[in-house]
Structure formats: C-alpha cells, structure tokens
C-alpha cells in the first residue's frame, strides 16, 4: 500500500530576531540585527497509510505543532521530503486543498459573528459544494457530535468551548477531506465532549478511509484513536510504531501489589525482587506478563498473603520513562 503521507528526514529551524532592551540598543539593533536559531524538529521520518491515524506525542515544545504545520504545508521544511497524496503540501494546489483539512484546537476558522450554519454556507461556496448538500452534511455531522439544531443557528461567540470545537470540526470536514491534520482537537473539553469527538473521528476515518495525523496531550485520545504513534522529544524521534509494540519493549511492565507478613516476604523474595509499597505491610513485584502464572502460583502458596492486585503500567508512565531515559 502506498502511503498517503510521507515525511522523510525532515528538519526545521526557526530564525528568531533578538530584541534588545533600551532605546539606544533598539536603534542599534535596527541596523545590526541579531538572531537566534531554534531547532524545532530534526531528521524526523514517518508515513501514514490510507485509513490510518498517526498520533504525535511530546511534551510542551517537543515540536508537534511544527510537524503539523510542515505536513499541512503552512511552513516549509529546511531539509527533507514531505509528500501528501504524492504532492509537496507547501505548494498548496487547489486539488490538494480540496482533499485536505487542518483543525487547530486553539485557532478556529469559524467567524465569531456568524452562526455555524452561515460559516458552512460560506465554505460551501468556496469549495463549490451544493448548498443543500452542505446543509444536509452539517445536520448529520451535528447529530453525530450531539450538537443541537439551535446551536447551529447561534452566533459562534455565544457558544461554549465544546460547542465551538464541534462547529470547527463540521466546518473542517464539510468538503469530506481524505487527509486530516488535527492539532489538539480535544484541548480543554470535558470528558463526554472528548469522547463524542473521538467517536466522530473514528467513524469518519472508517467511512471515508481517511488518513489522519493528530496531536493530543490526552493519553485516552492516543490509546483510543491511533494506529501508530510518533513520540517526539526536543524535536527528535524517540519512538515510532504501534502502542502494542511499545508496551512489548518495556521490561517488567506488569505489577502485582499485595499485603504480606514478613515471613511470607522472606519466602517470596527467593523467587522475585519484592519492593515495599507506600502502605504498611504492602509490597509489590514487577515482572514480565509471560511470568504471570508463575507469580500467581508463588503468591497463592502463601497463607499470609492477601489483597492481591495485578495491573500493567499505563501508557503515560511508559512514555514518561522513555523521556527520562532520553535525558540520561
């Protein structure tokens, strides 16, 4: 299968003008400008196939928005190759724009003085979509997103953050794009609205076989939506692949907590390293999932062991340990 989005060895550095303090320095710097350079992304490579969602993950300033801006063609890469549907996105041809959409959670496209439905009508004429068809699409998308007919008619500035975001999604999907870039689509939204948006994106991807790149700081978005993840750390690739593969790479991902007497701990320690938990007489063992039955056998042989509780490290803890590893 030929990837719909190709990013190969891409780097981007921003050139930033350094402002000097004081009137004299400001005048001097007008004639002799000083700049600093910020390397936002360095040598990043990934692909997205048809019907796939790639999640971009990273701490603040890791380079996620820069990556979205590069692949959507808003800014130009200094080095490397970017192809979206076989084309350089920076050229932003009409054909490209008709098939692609960009949703920035913090920067909306809706006109605050118009209603969602009026903005849609305006967009419909730009994209040459039949007005009736655009209104019918809007209504069915609104229904999927749990947005009422009344909300569609209200002036955007009077809508709540969640209602506005749903409106942004409707507007951005009205031309049925096959490539979608989403920068923080669920930022600041309550968990029910977040789930409505996730379900909407999942259904959209399935229905139109769309390729999607999204950034999110919410791990639930990532786990629920993404086929692959790309973890950025200070502009570099830290991990690229599936969530399952990442989990399989982590040693001793499973943890069992239990209460036990000192004698029982002494016996269990012959087989596994037992660590002390926060509560009194509470302990835990870390181990690989394939050892689960063995661990269960050892614990069940002990009468003085109680409150046994198994769980795996969550994705956020795994990713945090990757960041820590990268800092060493």
Site residues (vs ligand ATP, CB under 6 A): 14, 16, 38, 40, 58, 60-66
How far is the CA of 224 from the CAs of 43, 103, 114, 185, 217, in angstroms?
28, 19, 33, 14, 13
Strands of the 254-260 sheet, one edge to the other: 275-276, 282-287, 254-260, 305-312
| Closest distance to ligand ATP from the beta carbon of 241 (Å) | 19
| Closest distance to ligand ATP from the beta carbon of 65 (Å) | 3
Q: Which of 257, 259, 226 is nearest to 243 (CA)?
A: 226
Query: Of 65 and 163, which CB lies nearer to ligand ATP in the complex structure?
Result: 65
| Residue given tokens 């700081």 in the structure block | 217
| Closest distance to ligand ATP from the beta carbon of 40 (Å) | 4
| Closest distance to ligand ATP from the beta carbon of 165 (Å) | 16
Q: Are 57 and 231 in contact (CB under 8 A)?
A: yes
Q: Are 33 and 44 in contact (CB under 8 A)?
A: no
Query: Of 65 and 193, which CB lies nearer to ligand ATP in the complex structure?
Result: 65
Q: Are 227 and 242 in contact (CB under 8 A)?
A: yes
Q: Whole-angstrom Cα distance, residue 172 to residue 268?
A: 58
Q: Whole-angstrom Cα distance, residue 157 to residue 113?
A: 6
Query: Of 168 and 184, which CB lies nearer to ligand ATP in the complex structure?
Result: 184
Query: Of 66 and 163, which CB lies nearer to ligand ATP in the complex structure?
Result: 66
Query: Of 62 and 84, which CB lies nearer to ligand ATP in the complex structure?
Result: 62
Q: Are 77 and 4 in contact (CB under 8 A)?
A: no
Query: Of 96 and 230, which CB lies nearer to ligand ATP in the complex structure?
Result: 230
| Closest distance to ligand ATP from the beta carbon of 186 (Å) | 13
| Closest distance to ligand ATP from the beta carbon of 58 (Å) | 5
3-state secondary structure of 322: helix
């Amino acid at each position: 299968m030929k990837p719909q989005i190709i990013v190969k060895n891409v780097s981007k550095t921003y050139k930033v003008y350094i402002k000097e303090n004081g009137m004299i320095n400001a005048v001097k710097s007008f004639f002799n400008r000083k700049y600093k350079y910020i390397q936002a992304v360095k040598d990043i490579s990934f692909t997205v196939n048809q019907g796939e969602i790639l999640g971009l993950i990273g701490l603040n300033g890791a380079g996620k928005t820069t990556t979205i801006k590069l692949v959507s063609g808003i800014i130009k890469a200094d080095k490397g190759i970017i192809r979206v549907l076989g084309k350089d996105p920076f050229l932003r041809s009409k054909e490209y724009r008709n098939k692609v959409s960009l949703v920035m959670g913090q920067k909306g496209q809706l006109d605050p003085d118009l209603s969602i439905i009026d903005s849609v009508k305006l967009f419909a004429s730009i994209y040459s979509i039949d007005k009736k068809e655009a209104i019918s699409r809007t209504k069915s998308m609104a229904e999927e997103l749990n947005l009422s007919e009344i909300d569609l008619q209200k002036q955007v500035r009077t809508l709540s953050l969640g209602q506005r975001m749903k409106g942004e999604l409707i507007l951005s999907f009205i031309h049925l794009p096959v490539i979608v870039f989403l920068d923080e689509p669920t930022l600041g939204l309550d968990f029910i609205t977040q789930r409505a948006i996730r379900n909407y994106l999942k259904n959209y991807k399935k229905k139109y076989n769309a390729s999607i790149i999204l950034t999110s700081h919410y791990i639930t978005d990532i786990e629920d939506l993404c086929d692959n993840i790309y973890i950025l750390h200070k502009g570099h690739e830290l991990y690229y692949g599936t969530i399952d593969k990442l989990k399989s790479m982590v040693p001793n991902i499973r943890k069992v907590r239990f209460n036990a007497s000192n004698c029982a701990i002494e016996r269990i320690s012959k087989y596994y390293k037992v660590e002390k938990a926060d509560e009194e007489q509470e302990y835990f063992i870390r181990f690989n999932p394939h050892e689960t039955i063995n661990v269960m056998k050892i614990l069940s042989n002990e009468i003085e062991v109680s409150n046994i509780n198994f769980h795996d490290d969550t994705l956020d803890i795994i990713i945090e340990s990757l960041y820590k590893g990268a800092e060493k």
